[in-house]
Structure 1
Amino acid sequence: MLDPVVDAAFSLLVVVGLPALFVFFLLKGALVGKFLPTSLFLPGYVFAVSPSGAGLVAIVVVSTVGYAAGQLLVYYGARRNGVSFLRSAPRIRLSEARLRRSEELFDRYGGPAIFVTNMIPYLGGLALIPAGIASYHLRGVLVYALSSTLIYHAALVAAAAGVVDLLL
């Protein structure tokens, strides 16, 4: 059912470029766009546009900043309204088990849980919920969210660029 939506979103990404990339990753980071396969969009976009070195850096920076900005929305929503902000958002669906698991990870590891979960597909951003509820300091949230997302996105883009170079 989502295939036409995902196809349309990817087509829009290729036509609009970096602004669309930013919006897609903002939505993904804010948990609203979980249905968007951004881990496929990122290398797919690299394949589609075959950017140069500066273009590759721009892709990594734009996707990282967009995703982290979306995560900050989750953090502030949880900090202000607790878990109830998730339940009031119509597009965010999280099971109690996943939410409980993210709380356990954050309670046990603190900020490093943000770093690690950001690198794991389907878990990215979930540690920001208990971080917000616990009023974890913003500097730590920013450092862990930005650094882990930057590493993850740089690896995806570098792998895709390497494949593009092999094909050309």
Structure 2
Amino acid sequence: MVAVTAFAGFAPVVSAAPLAETLSGRILLQVEENGEAWYVFPGDLKRYYLGRPDDAFQIMRQLGLGATSDFINGYGYTPYPRHVWGKILLDVQTNGEAYYIYPVSGNAHYLGRPADAFSIMRGLGLGISNADLARIPIAASSNLPVTIIENVYDNPEADIDNINFGY
């Protein structure tokens, strides 16, 4: 009875939310591989492979949310409203400039050219293990990372039937 009472006030800290919900809007870097970048889209809680800079830029354009210039420019250095955290805003009144609203702070980051956008995404990315990343479903429309297999034909003893293609 004493042991039960002693532990009754202590509850283990366990998140009830699925991992995709917890990481919604985040850029994830697959640290156990080659640092592949993934975006967890808040709209469907699935992950999208960002690939090369041009691929990442295209994903941002496809998943972006249109917003007026007044809305985008109205916050300056103050955090945006929570309903846009983790989303990519596209300015529909100018040239469609893209802004990533960082879900940790609510601040906007201008994405500019593909290389700039890719650099920002990598800089704000969160490292994740393969096991945890596997808990977040991949969007059906997402590209997948390419696994390069070297010297398969140079080794006649290679077991072709047991090659892991990474998906």
Instruction: Report the TM range for the smaller structure's normalisation.
Output: under 0.3
Larger RCO (CA within 8 A; separation ≥ 6): 1
User: What is the TM-score of this pair, normalised by structure 1?
Assistant: 0.27
User: What is the TM-score of this pair, normalised by structure 2?
Assistant: 0.27
Structure (1 or 2) with the greater strand fraction: 2
